[in-house]
């Protein structure tokens, strides 16, 4: 019985010690107290490539619709004009569309005076969140546009019995020539 009592005391002491060690202690923080700082910016923050300051990030987004009865947009349609003294390098193209009936949409990205330079076939990717057929094409690429050139697009499809909502996203960078 005495042996059992000693084991019980030992278990009790170890339990109390474990509880005491698990309770966090509070102590003063090292360093100065925290201060809240409010930054108010009234103009856009310019972003640049620190490794290559001649590069400026570029992104353009277009959301549009091709209505019932139209098989293509007015082609070519200007999406962006490259500023003078700069070259545009498009590194990524993301295209998608949604309609109520299955179609085969095609989106062409070209330059001024050139027809059908970069052709993207949108593939049926599944169903949109509203239950309509969803199409898409995403491509890492390298497309170059000279100063003053228009970046144009054209959307065509094989079925025109319903609306085709389409989205064009281009990203890359502008490079200073000077």
Q: How buried is residue 100: exposed, middle or buried, by Cβ count under 10 Å (0-12/13-18/19+)?
A: middle
In this prediction the pTM is 0.66
Per-domain boundaries in the chain: 55-176
Tens digits of per-residue pLDDT, 85-142? Answer: 999 999 999 998 988 887 888 888 988 777 667 888 888 888 888 888 888 899 998 9
Lowest mean pLDDT among 5-19, 46-60, 116-130: 5-19
Class of the CATH domain delimited by 55-176: mainly beta
Q: Which two tokens stand for residue 133?
A: 């057929």
Report the distance separating Cα 56 and Cα 173, nearest Å.
5
Spell out the residues 6+ positions from residue 76 whose beta carbon is closer than 8 angstroms to its own: 108, 110, 115, 150, 152, 153, 154
Whose CA is closest to 97, among 124, 59, 60?
A: 124
Whose CA is closest to 157, among 25, 65, 53, 61?
A: 65
> What is the phi-psi region of residue 96: left when phi exceeds 0, alpha when psi lies from -120 to 50, beta otherwise?
beta
Beta bridge partners of 111: 151
Lowest mean pLDDT among 44-53, 105-114, 132-141, 166-175: 44-53
3-state secondary structure of 19: helix
Tens digits of per-residue pLDDT, 61-83? Answer: 999 988 888 888 888 889 999 99
Mean pLDDT value of segment 4-33: 57
Report the distance separating Cα 159 and Cα 106, nearest Å.
12
How high is the pLDDT of residue 23? 54
Average pLDDT, the chain: 79
Report the distance separating Cα 30 and Cα 50, nearest Å.
35
Tens digits of per-residue pLDDT, 109-124? Answer: 988 777 667 888 888 8
């Amino acid at each position: 019985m005495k042996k059992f009592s000693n084991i019980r005391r030992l278990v009790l002491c170890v339990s109390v010690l474990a509880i005491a060690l698990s309770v966090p202690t509070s102590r003063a923080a090292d360093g100065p107290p925290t201060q809240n700082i409010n930054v108010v910016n009234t103009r856009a923050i310019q972003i640049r490539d620190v490794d290559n300051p001649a590069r400026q990030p570029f992104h353009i987004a277009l959301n549009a619709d091709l209505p019932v009865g139209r098989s293509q947009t007015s082609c070519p349609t200007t999406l962006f004009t490259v500023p003078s003294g700069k070259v545009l390098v498009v590194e990524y193209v993301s295209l998608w569309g949604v309609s109520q009936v299955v179609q085969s949409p095609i989106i062409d990205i070209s330059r001024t005076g050139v027809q059908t330079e970069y052709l993207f076939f949108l593939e049926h990717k599944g169903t949109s969140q509203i239950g309509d057929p969803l199409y898409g094409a995403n491509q890492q690429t390298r497309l170059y546009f000279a100063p003053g050139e228009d970046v144009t697009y054209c959307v065509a499809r094989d079925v025109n019995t319903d609306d085709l909502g389409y989205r064009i996203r281009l990203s890359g960078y502008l490079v200073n020539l000077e």
